[in-house]
Amino acid sequence: MSEPLFDYLLRLGDERLVLGHRLSEWCGHGPILEEDIALANIALDLIGQANLLLGLAGEVEGKGRDADALAYLRDAREFRNHPLAELPNGDYAFTMVRLFLLSAHAYCVLDGLRSSSHQELAGIAAKAFKETTYHVRHSAEWLVRFGDGSEESRRRVGTALEEAWRWTGTLFLADVVDQELQARGLAPDPAAAAPAWRALVDAVLERATLPPPSAAPLSGRGYRRGDHTEHLGHLLAEMQVLARTHPGAEW
Amino acid sequence: MSGPDAPADDAEAGESEWPLWEVFTQPGAGRPHEHAGSLHAPDAELALQNARDVYTRRGEAVSIWVVRSDAIVASSPSEAGPFFEPGNDKAYRHPQFYKVPRGVRSV
């Protein structure tokens, strides 16, 4: 087994890199100029967080790989992001539902991670926590407006919620890596953040006048070994093509 | 996006168009809020969030005001003569006979 902290940082970093890339796909295609800028801002926040986390992961690994090498020169099976982050954007309702569920998850995890005994990780968590607070606020306000909006917006957000909800079953999965980090005081118990996440989600769904999702969550934990949906490979092909076509290029 | 001279008119713009909002940002504590620009938003909360994303990305503000453009009452450009010109030849209204002490800013 490799260093557990390396694995843990990859999980955090990859999730932000992949979700940030997905959001960046909206750039120039947003439904209105103001939303286009809002999503690009959030995408840049996430990619900035990924840069810090993968940079630290490279240092922990100690094999000379920097954030760019980890982002651009790994294949899909080496990525450790949660599959919800890699699903295609779908319509704006799905984009916002997915962003809300993952931002709320990040918010609850980062809250505890700010107290990590690893000073640099605690610092990154504190910075990311502030950014994530806004991501939750922005996406939550859209959920409320879709749910409590027109017949069509309500139908679309309901469909998006059922679809995204199936993937939330493994958000708080704790495995040997989490247990090891918790034992060393580096990261909180993932399960401890679950009640706060559910309370946050329920409060927003209530404001949105949306019923709790009924879809049974999937339990597959294969993504921790590198099993992903077919969508991640396509995403990486586009994200990595420049770096792989011109190895070592700087600009 | 319509310019500042075109007040938001929901009926004219059609129901699918969001209303226009004017954004005022305060560059620092104790400074006045200044007009930064305008944007479209469906309601006040999202106008505030959009203003944050469009006008304060580089740390330009410590506070934001948003107000519906159609709530602003503006003077008429065609009446600018009688409205403003009477003030132009009354030099005694300008405090130009005082020296501003060194170290005083934002005057």
Question: Model confidence at B11, in pLDDT bands (50, 70, 90)?
Answer: very low
Tell me what pLDDT residue A223 has: 86
Question: By C-alpha distance, which of A127, A124, A20, A163 is closest to A81?
Answer: A20
Question: Model confidence at A249, in pLDDT bands (50, 70, 90)?
Answer: confident
Question: By C-alpha distance, which of A220, A170, A165 is closest to A190?
Answer: A170
Question: Model confidence at B4, in pLDDT bands (50, 70, 90)?
Answer: very low
For residues A234 and A208, the answer to whether their CB atoms sit within 8 Å is no
Cα of B40 to nearest chain A Cα, Å: 7
Assembly ipTM? 0.76
Q: Is the dihedral of CA A102, A190, A118, A72 positive or negative?
A: negative
DSSP count for chain A of H helices, then E strands: 9, 0
Token pair, residue B63, equals 């506070």
Task: Please give the C-alpha separations between residue A147 and each of A36, A155, A200, A209, in angstroms, as whole numbers.
Answer: 21, 8, 16, 6
Q: Is residue A206 part of a domain?
A: yes
Q: Is residue B91 part of a domain?
A: no
pTM of the model: 0.86
Average pLDDT, chain B: 83
Task: Indicate the number of domains in chain B.
Answer: 1
Tell me what pLDDT residue B15 has: 54
B45, A41: Cβ pair inside 8 Å? no
- Model confidence pLDDT, tens digit, residues A222-239: 888 889 999 999 999 999
Tell me what pLDDT residue B16 has: 63
Question: By C-alpha distance, which of B24, B50, B21 is closest to B35?
Answer: B24
β-bridge partners, B21: B39, B68
Q: Which of B18, B42, B53 sits opposite A37 (nearest CB)?
A: B53
pLDDT at A244 over 50: yes
Percentage of chain A surpassing pLDDT 70? Answer: 100
Q: Which of A32, A33, A141 sits opposite B49 (nearest CB)?
A: A141
Tell me what pLDDT residue B104 has: 81
A230 touches chain B (CB under 8 A): no
Q: Is residue B16 part of a domain?
A: yes
- Model confidence pLDDT, tens digit, residues A178-198: 999 999 999 999 989 999 999
Domain encompassing residue B22:
10-76
Task: Indicate the number of domains in chain A.
Answer: 1
Mean of the pLDDT values across residues B73-85? Answer: 86
B49 touches chain A (CB under 8 A): yes
Tell me what pLDDT residue B107 has: 62
Mean of the pLDDT values across residues B13-34? Answer: 87
Q: Which domain CATH number covers B42?
A: 3.10.20.520
Tell me what pLDDT residue B77 has: 87
Range with lowest mean pLDDT among A225-229, B1-5, B40-44, B68-72: B1-5
A143 touches chain B (CB under 8 A): no
Distance CA A83, CA A75 (A): 15
Q: Which domain CATH number covers A76?
A: 1.20.1260.10
Q: Is residue A171 part of a domain?
A: yes
Question: By C-alpha distance, which of A132, A145, A134, A57 is closest to A102?
Answer: A132
Q: Is residue B68 part of a domain?
A: yes
Length of chain B: 107
For residues A159 and A92, the answer to whether their CB atoms sit within 8 Å is no
Distance CA A181, CA A188 (A): 8
Q: Is residue B50 part of a domain?
A: yes
CA angle B40, B41, B47 (to 5 degrees): 110
Cα of B50 to nearest chain A Cα, Å: 6
Tell me what pLDDT residue B81 has: 84
Q: Is residue A217 part of a domain?
A: no
Domain encompassing residue A37:
4-210+225-245
Mean of the pLDDT values across residues A28-40? Answer: 92
Cα of A227 to nearest chain B Cα, Å: 36
Question: Model confidence at B2, in pLDDT bands (50, 70, 90)?
Answer: very low
Chain A: residue whose CA lies nearest to B49: A138
Average pLDDT, chain A: 95
Tell me what pLDDT residue B87 has: 77
Q: Is residue A250 part of a domain?
A: no
Tell me what pLDDT residue A217 has: 84
